[in-house]
Amino acid sequence: MVPVRRDAAPGTLSPGPSPGTPEGGDLRRRLVEERDRARTRLTQLTGDYRGIVDASRDSNADDEHDPEGSTIAFERSQVGALVQQARERIEEADAALHRLDAGDYGRCETCGQSIPEDRLTARPTARTCVGC
């Protein structure tokens, strides 16, 4: 189901679905599920990050010159980047839920035009149209 209302002129889309409509309920469910997945991922990654930091604290190894694999600093950096991505996904899902509640979901934050259906289907947290 496409997450936008079709109550505007034929061929155009109005900003997103009302929270009380079936489309709004399905969209809300998708956004909440996406946020919950990101929260679960964040919890896992945070534990991984702590484990890497704890392991390096007690280690006297010269990991910068270890021919057996990647360095602890590299692993810490990679996991840190994944932690930041998970936090951003949570923020984006929360912002999309807020737009849904406010009746602004599906409207480009830059130009004010409707965001194409295909973009919202592929990326339900999209804030802007493809052009912007």
Rounded Cα distance, 92 and 112, in Å: 18
**114 secondary structure, DSSP code:** B
Greater pLDDT, 17 or 79: 79
120 pLDDT above the threshold of 60 = yes
Rounded Cα distance, 115 and 125, in Å: 11
Comparing CA positions, the residue from 94, 95, 92, 73 lying closest to residue 84 is: 92
Are 90 and 40 in contact by the 8 Å Cβ rule? The answer is: no
Give the H or E element holding residue 37.
helix 22-57
Question: In which band, very low, low, confident or very high, does the pLDDT at 69 lie, cut at 50, 70 and 90?
Answer: low
Neighbouring CB atoms inside 10 A of 54's CB total 10
Name 14's Cβ contacts closer than 8 Å, sequence gap at least 6. Answer: 4, 5, 6, 7, 8, 106, 114
What pLDDT, on the 0 to 100 scale, is given for residue 26? Answer: 87
For residues 37-52, give the mean pLDDT.
Answer: 88
Q: What is the mean pLDDT of the chain?
A: 78
